[in-house]
């Protein structure tokens, strides 16, 4: 083999190696991605039915209920336009409370309940996850538009 052919073989093997490493890295990242959906999007079935995703909003007051096992908690999350029932088994964050922002990661069940694997609460009095704040703002604006439209019809 000539020196030129050896270099071409080495370059070809290097390219194959880089392509293989890139494929492995992308497939590992793909399995860890969880997209964010608002309660309105979840209720409109815009969420993936076979994958983990995140839902966020505000915990509806007076909906937090502990089950008999002591670890399972059921509560509702809203974006002021739709409500999603959430069930979580585990220890909730210390900052979790009614009327506060929350993001839950999990899957939607066939019964329409979101079964969370993880629940994240807001950090302090002024913090709200950006996705939740955007969703609430959009739902608020949509609600105002709907109310205005209804009042004009009457």
Is residue 81 within 8 Å of residue 143, measured between CB atoms?
A: yes
Confidence grade of residue 15 (pLDDT, cut at 50, 70, 90)? very high
Can you tell me the distance from the alpha carbon of 33 to that of 14, in angstroms, rounded to the nearest whole number?
29
Confidence grade of residue 149 (pLDDT, cut at 50, 70, 90)? very low
Can you tell me the distance from the alpha carbon of 77 to that of 36, in angstroms, rounded to the nearest whole number?
14
pLDDT per residue as tens digits for the range 82-115: 899 999 998 888 888 888 889 999 998 888 899 9
* Residue 127 assigned to a binding site: yes
pLDDT per residue as tens digits for the range 49-87: 778 888 988 899 999 998 888 889 999 999 888 899 999
**Does residue 154 register a pLDDT over 60?**
no
pTM of the model: 0.63
Strand 72-78 and strand 65-66: the pairing is antiparallel
- Give the pLDDT mean for 3-18: 89
| % of the chain residues with pLDDT over 90 | 23
Confidence grade of residue 127 (pLDDT, cut at 50, 70, 90)? low
**Does residue 128 register a pLDDT over 90?**
no
For 45-53, the CB contacts below 8 A with 24+ separation are 47/108, 49/108, 51/107, 52/105, 52/106, 52/107, 52/117, 53/105, 53/106, 53/107
**Does residue 5 register a pLDDT over 50?**
yes
Tell me what the pLDDT averaged over the chain comes to.
Answer: 81
Can you tell me the distance from the alpha carbon of 26 to that of 23, in angstroms, rounded to the nearest whole number?
5
* Residue 140 assigned to a binding site: no
Can you tell me the distance from the alpha carbon of 111 to that of 31, in angstroms, rounded to the nearest whole number?
25
Residue burial 65-88, b: 16+ Cβ < 10 Å; e: rest: eeeeeeeebebbbbbbbbbbbbbb
Pick the CATH number of 34-153 from 2.40.50.140, 2.60.40.2470, 2.60.120.560, 3.60.70.12: 2.40.50.140
pLDDT at residue number 150: 54
- 102 phi/psi in degrees, rounded to 5: -150, 150
């Amino acid at each position: 083999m000539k020196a030129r052919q050896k270099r071409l073989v080495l370059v070809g093997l290097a390219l194959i190696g880089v392509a293989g490493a890139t494929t492995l890295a992308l497939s590992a990242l793909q399995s860890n991605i969880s997209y964010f959906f608002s309660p309105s999007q979840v209720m409109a079935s815009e969420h993936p039915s076979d994958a983990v995703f995140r839902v966020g909003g505000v915990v509806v007051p007076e909906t937090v209920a502990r089950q008999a096992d002591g670890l399972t908690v059921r509560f509702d999350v809203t974006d002021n336009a739709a409500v999603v029932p959430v069930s979580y088994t585990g220890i909730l964050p210390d900052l979790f409370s009614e009327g506060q922002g929350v993001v839950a990661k999990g899957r939607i069940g066939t019964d329409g309940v979101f079964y969370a694997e993880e629940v994240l609460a807001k950090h302090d009095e002024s913090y709200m996850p950006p996705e939740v704040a955007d969703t609430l703002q959009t739902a608020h604006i949509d609600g105002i538009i709907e109310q205005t439209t209804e009042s004009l019809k009457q």
